[in-house]
Structure 1
């Protein structure tokens, strides 16, 4: 089998995604600009959404599941008075209402959307139905019935309220659809609503203040992009960090349990390094780490 062409680089590049482009397209451009062998992302953003899209390169792709589990923050604007078939401004209006909520009514409704909630994803979403994406079925005119799914909402706050719109901030776990929050909030308030603007300001350890503008992603800027890359372990900030012994490092690199010089709770998921070099992610058991993911750095 032919080897993949490109540079063997590993780390994270945080992109400030603009509206009008898909997450996969951003990853493709980053991979091209950096001439990287392998790239992926942690957490899709809708094409019309902007903000933090963390792109994993090389061995950092093995840490994506840990970032996917992390909390994420969204600032968004809800327009009242209309519901659309996509639950955002890109869709077709399906229902309208003359009712408008005031700030007090909005604040009173928010607590029911905090904590462990059940959420029905938008009909135009990447959720699979019988092996097909819901958005593909919706485009074909099929009636899409999606089941509700659990979502952890850490917080949902009203930032500002105007006559026809409101600005909110939500911190939530994986799998959350801000568009569904806007839709359901509009229904509860009796005024209907949809997302007009959506921006992800942080995702786990990655902040929009540290992101690279999409306009700067070009091969001519490769040196600058290299300098802006974050190390693989940037995605592992929520995991305990242990250090391997010299003999343990050899075993861990080969995928075998290895000794570490520091400890954690029995059975806890940790990441291990030799010096500053990440070795693996694994489970700590009585002085050893049993690797689940080994980094080839």
Structure 2
């Protein structure tokens, strides 16, 4: 068994994923750039999509599943006149429909978009990563199988029209939306087309935010380096929504051994039972719970997670 070498870099960061590469491609390129193996990501993006992709290196990979990324924001272009088997421009056309003149009217477009705001049931695209009897839906679809995915509950929090572009018979709605985790913008485009008595698919998609992490936090993939990541590290404490407790360096040995720590005057404002981040010299060393005025270790990080601001 190969022993895992501890990473010298342990932090969360975001990249602005470029067009055409998969989420796995992004992880592979970060691994090569940093010379480390332990790299993971939270929330995939299709090759056609660009924008915010959150990653973790080293010990910070353990935080990816804890991040509250329940809301995602996107800017998308929806083209009318046809549906595809992938619900985007990379797929084969499966249905065409007239592009009525009303689709060029911004007032009409806003009315259609407004009807989608709120909780609803959405059928995911056949070409998606959803598992069907242990096999990804997109693998079944590529093999020519008829993939019939059940509708799932999602919520559209905001859906705004940015512009209507008209080029001859081609009509494209540029939209901005904030949606719940698990919402497929490709499916939303398909359903918008049907609601407008037409057909539609996505021609461009850009994720502008994932949870509280926006494009302002993201760096270009080509610029990934240890120095760049440290300069743009995401604060693990605030991104997890935890209370922060700063402890003296002599508390580190107890943390690493998983022993409880007397709260004393540390974290006096924290309510009993609440999870919190234990920080020593600017690094997050543990996530603990306050129980009977003692910090009980829940997750311990032998290599401190950087980026605490």
- Unaligned runs of 5+ residues in structure 1 are none
Correspondence 1:7-22 to 2 at 5 A? 7-22=7-22
The farther-off stretch of 190-199 and 206-215 is 206-215
Match of 1:84 in 2: 84
Classify 1:277/1:209 alpha carbon distance in 2 versus 1 (closer, same or farther; 3 Å). closer
Aligned-partner SS, 1:59: helix
The farther-off stretch of 27-36 and 134-143 is 27-36
Match of 2:190 in 1: 183
User: What TM-score do the two structures reach when normalised by structure 2?
Assistant: 0.85
User: Shift of residue 250 of structure 1?
Assistant: 4.5
- Unaligned runs of 5+ residues in structure 2 are 304-309
User: What TM-score do the two structures reach when normalised by structure 1?
Assistant: 0.88
Match of 2:147 in 1: 144
2:276 matched to 1:270? yes
User: Shift of residue 151 of structure 1?
Assistant: 2.0
Match of 1:25 in 2: 25
Distance 1:8 1:104 in 2: 55
CA deviation map 1:114-139 (0-9, x unaligned): 33322211100000000000000000
Classify 1:223/1:254 alpha carbon distance in 2 versus 1 (closer, same or farther; 3 Å). closer
Match of 2:136 in 1: 133
2:65 matched to 1:65? yes
Distance 1:227 1:188 in 2: 46
Classify 1:6/1:47 alpha carbon distance in 2 versus 1 (closer, same or farther; 3 Å). farther
The farther-off stretch of 264-273 and 17-26 is 264-273
CA RMSD of the aligned region, Å?
2.5
Aligned 8 A contact 2:74 2:207 in 1: yes
Aligned 8 A contact 2:272 2:293 in 1: no
CA deviation map 1:201-250 (0-9, x unaligned): 12233332342222334xxxx45434444156166352322345778654
Match of 1:206 in 2: 213
Match of 1:111 in 2: 114
Distance 1:182 1:259 in 2: 54
1:296 to 299, 302, 308: 302
User: Shift of residue 268 of structure 1?
Assistant: 3.4
Aligned 8 A contact 1:8 1:37 in 2: no
Distance 2:221 2:281 in 1: 34
Aligned-partner SS, 2:190: helix
The farther-off stretch of 8-17 and 239-248 is 239-248
Correspondence 1:251-266 to 2 at 5 A? 251-260=254-263, 261-262=266-267, 263-266=269-272
**Count of aligned pairs between the two proteins:** 293
Distance 2:262 2:37 in 1: 32
Distance 2:43 2:142 in 1: 23
Distance 2:116 2:271 in 1: 34
User: Shift of residue 295 of structure 1?
Assistant: 1.5
